[in-house]
Structure 1
Amino acid sequence: MSPEGKTLLNVVVLGLGFMVMFTAFGTCGNIEQTVIKSFNSTEFHGSGYTSMAIIYAVFSASNLIAPSVIAVVGPQLSLFFSGLLYSAYIAVFIHPYTWSFYTLSVLLGIGAAVLWTAQGNLLTINSKDSTIGRNSGIFWALMQFSLFFGNLYIYLAWHNKSHITDKDRQTVFITLTVISLVGNFLFFLIQRPDPEPAPSDASESLLPTEISDSCDVIPSQTRGSQALEAFKRSIQLAMTKEMLLLSIPFAYSGLELTFYSGVYGTCLGAMTQFGEGAKGLIGLSGILIGVGEILGGGVFGIMDKCNRYGRNPVVFLGLVTHIVAFYLIFLNIASDAPVAPEEGTQMQAFIKPSVTVALICSFLLGLGDSCFNTQLISIVGFLFRDDSAPAFAVFKFVQSITAAIAFFYSNYLLLHWQLLIMVLVGFMGTGTFFLVEWAVMSARRDSDYDSI
């Protein structure tokens, strides 16, 4: 197999591993608040929103040490061991206790930081400047198939159910735990890329250390010094002009991640106007979010080769798509739906609630999210190719801290306030992304001119 064929295969395997694992975890996150409301036990006093807030808060802080872990253990083993924490978190719901629920929330936050930094690292070292956009799209589309499979199962299993029994919960979460474990073992199929020609300058000499596994012996650096250097580099990158500008779209991606992955499904399940099938709509909504994600990731990955206008048009499309979705949700869903009790909301929306409109909004949320995330992954991998692990750690640090804040305020804020926050941050994030992308395109034109 050619070197380029091997790296493309690695990207596909990486995407498949995330697809299988997040079939389990994404479905878990989408339904956990609804499941907890239906859990009949005086021993359990947990909140799905609070758990997610803890996960993303710890995730954010742990991104500072994630590059150090990867420098010592290697990206492949980092994926596997952090994936085991995802499986353990899902397994907690088979019979949840408050202490185990929140303990695993903390541990999962640490594992998530390592997992996503390792993912960005592996994606970058298996890509070139000319293929990073394509590979980002392929990975994102494959991973988002997870929303389709997991939520299809939920829709079929919970259709026309107004209450989730203990047996329903246990069956779902045993199945999801097994699925997540399968995804973890797929990471061992990733092969080491063939070495590139000897680098011509000192900065490129950092690349081989990124793909070293835990058994390599590196004469010039101890693993301890590698870990310290990775930590210091993360701090330095966070202070660069490009990262400071990109931090706002990073933050927006965290806010809308919270909304589509946890809040919106809960809102649909709380709408008594949708009838007895409201709980089943959580799964159907997740499927359509996944369809939007897959379509966006696939199309933007294919378009990357022929896109003369850079990443800005895709990000602008994402903003417009989300604004339309937010406006329709504002009209169609009762404002107290995110915080309604288990029996649902009795408030009226601005229009007669429509299942069709609600599901169209699900698709638009997924499509818009794919617009932002594929382009953010692409621009970070392009700008910081030689420092991919620290750069993706900064990306995930900002994204996860805003997600944690959003999950926290989702316990208290009515729907229209949550939508307003996302609209304001979305506009600002799109503007700052444009500034960075224009600088990239200007530098590329200058480089092409100098080479003539």
Structure 2
Amino acid sequence: MDDIHKTSNEKVHVLSVSSAPSHHVHHAVMTHVGGIEYDKTRRRSTIHSYTLSNYHALSHDPQTMRAVHEMTRAKAYKNVIALGLAFMFVFTAFVSIQGLQSTMNWEGGVGVTSLSSIYVTTIISCLLAPWIIQKLTTKWTMIIAFVLCTGYFAGNFHPEHYMLVPLGALLGLLGGPLWSAQATSITSISLAYSEHIHAEEQEIVVNKMMGIFCGLYRTSNIWGNLITTLVLGKNETLHVPQYHNFSTNSTCGAGYCLTVEDELNHGIYFSQNAMRTISSKTKIMLLSIYLGCGMMGIVILISLFDQHKNSKLKCRDDVLSSKETFLATIKMFKDTKCLLLLVIVVFIGLEQGFMFSDFTKAYISCTLGVTSIGPVMICFGAVSSVSCILIGCIASRHIKRFAFISAGATFNIGLLIVLWLWKPSTLDIPNFFVVAACLGLCDAIWQTQTYTLFGIIFMHKQEAAFASYRMFYATGCAIAFGYSYFLCVETKVLILAVVLIIGLICYCVIEMKVQLQSQHIKDIVAL
């Protein structure tokens, strides 16, 4: 009888607590499942409720609670917008200069070689990202990376191998930590703000903040291509020939299939003509604009982005030693959820590489000429930017992540079918902008949802999680650029479709695991 009476009292206690306001409920009733502590009273509506592996609330030490108390709406939005603007300025320059390297610095292949050094060292730097961020903090990691970016822009005034390749390698060494620090900052700000307003759905806040950042950052595609188009358009000597298809048995679109010899012959032909038509004065004007954009990004980050007293809002985990932090990214590969998610991250990198390498070359340039790349890519950047903001601020409140990713994957597969069957011609110019807009929409869905997913699942090890994310994203980009000269476009489209399907299956496995675990925890709460 005493046991029954005790159990009855416990049930009454749970019910009475659950009717209290949400900010009192948070610490009220906890339960242990497999040695992991869960908040039984935290009500969440999605199938990934109570988190995916272990629910880590922010720690309640005085420093963290003070940060939560100070993270007002104005402060949270100020930091997210400042970070988005800083990345917008820096990557406006980087996107533009990346697109011009193969033509502006063609002699000896110095431009493309410097870009390769960036991607290679970026993959390596992802292993060091948690350790670097722990030593420098998120803010100063991003500031130093921006300084190296600006140094790389300046190095293009004197494009020699001994100048650009080392600068590119140095930039890549902080490429992984840069993106890991950015994602960690956005997630930490979002979690602190959600605790400050006692939000029941932390993921909605994270999704919204990530959408705002991605929306601002993605406008770099607009401004970068706009600057290039306007400056080169005013160059009186610019009469760049159309992108000719040198192979007699190839066509534009999915049928585009040049041999390595054809590509090399085309590269020499086009680069020499382009270099002769871009005057030294125009080149200096472009590089000066890029240098100014880089410096503006540094100024915004230093002056407007707040330095958190701790590099991240700590969870209930113990503080890691330097050695443990150094090995944190490698240990992520032992996490089943991380391995399953990395397939879809590789797909995102592959599709980005396809967009900036094959779509611009085999569809736009082959049919309309190189001068049409800028306007079409502006359309891509505009749709991607607006979609990121809408998805983060509006749609995420009413549509769950699983529905978003499923719809995005279905839409993306349909788009790949269009790219496989479409035979572009000069008579269907609007279709180029429609396809670019669709690619921008898919890009927005993948960017916002996967970043949010990593931030929520791996809340307790953000730096390592986002470092592994960036590593496999860069790997996907490197693979896409690497096989660009060896595979036909039709084959590349099929590869994208296969990887996307595998990635979606892996994601569904995770969601099913989450649903089962969530139901298990709900059964415990019901007790």
TM-score, normalisation: structure 2: 0.70
2: CA distance, partners of 1:350 / 1:8:
43
Per-residue CA deviation, residues 380-430 of structure 1 (Å, 9 max, x unaligned), is 100111110111111111111221122122233332222222121112112
Structure 1 contact 72–226 (Cα < 8 Å) conserved: no
Matched residue, 2:72: 4
**CA separation of 1:409 and 1:68: change in aligned 2, threshold 3 A:** same
Using the TM superposition, name which of 63-72 and 403-412 deviates more. 403-412
- Code of the residue aligned with 1:7 in structure 2: it is A
Query: Could you say what secondary structure the match of 1:413 adopts?
Result: coil
> Could you tell me how far 1:114 is from its partner in structure 2?
1.6
Give 1:103 deviation, angstroms.
2.4
C-alpha distance in 1 between matches for 2:149 and 2:488: 30
Match of 1:17 among 71, 86, 96: 86
| Residue aligning to 2:181 | 118
Instruction: Provide closer, same or farther for how the CA distance between residues 194 and 4 of structure 1 changes in structure 2, counting only shifts above 3 A.
Output: farther
1:45 aligns with 2:109: yes
How far 1:355 sits from its partner (Å)?
2.7
> 1:282 corresponds to which residue?
373
482, 493, 514: which is aligned to 1:419? 493
For the structure 1 residues 388 and 280, does the alpha-carbon distance in structure 2 shift closer, same or farther, using more than 3 Å as the test?
A: same
Question: Offset at 1:161?
Answer: 4.2
CA spacing shift, 1:355–1:387, aligned 2, 3 Å: same
Question: What does 1:321-400 align with in structure 2 at a 5 Å threshold?
Answer: 321-331=411-421, 354-400=428-474
Aligned pair in 2 of structure 1 residues 246, 442: CA closer, same or farther (>3 Å)? Answer: same
Taking the aligned partners of 1:170 and 1:419, their CA distance within structure 2 comes to: 38
User: Contact (CA 8 Å) 1:53, 1:407: kept in 2 or not?
Assistant: no
**What is the letter of the counterpart of residue 18 of structure 1?**
F
Matched, 1:256 2:380: no
Q: Aligned to 1:46, what secondary structure does the other structure show? A: helix
In the other structure, the counterpart of 1:175 is: 289
- The residue identity in structure 2 corresponding to 1:410 is S
| Other structure's SS at 2:486 match | coil
Q: Structure 1 residues 315 and 90, CA, compared in 2 at 3 Å: closer, same or farther?
A: farther
SS of the aligned residue for 1:356 comes to: helix
Distance 1:268 1:161 in 2: 21
Within 5 Å, which residues of 2 pair with 1:128-277?
Answer: 128=191, 129-130=202-203, 131-159=205-233, 161-162=239-240, 163=274, 164-167=277-280, 168-188=282-302, 189-192=304-307, 202-203=316-317, 206=319, 226-267=321-362, 270-271=365-366, 273-274=367-368
CA pair 150-137 structure 1, distance change in 2 beyond 3 A: same
Change (3 A) 1:12 1:140: same
Structure 1 residues 305 and 368, CA gap change in structure 2 (3 angstroms): closer
Q: Hey, which bits of structure 1, 4+ residues long, moved more than 6 A? A: none
State, as a whole percentage, how many aligned pairs show the same letter. 23
Equivalent AA in structure 1 for residue 374 of structure 2: G
Mapping 1:34-73, distance limit 5 Å? 34-36=103-105, 39=106, 41=107, 44-46=108-110, 48=112, 50-73=113-136
Distance in 2 separating the partners of 1:441 and 1:169:
56
- Which residue of structure 1 lines up, in the alignment, with residue 410 of structure 2? 320
TM-score (norm 1): 0.81
How many aligned positions are there?
403
CA distance in 2, matches of 1:418, 1:150: 27
Contact 2:127–2:327 (8 Å) recurs in 1: no
Q: CA deviation at 1:83?
A: 1.2
RMSD: 2.7
Change in CA separation of 1:328 and 1:154 when aligned onto 2, cut-off 3 Å: farther
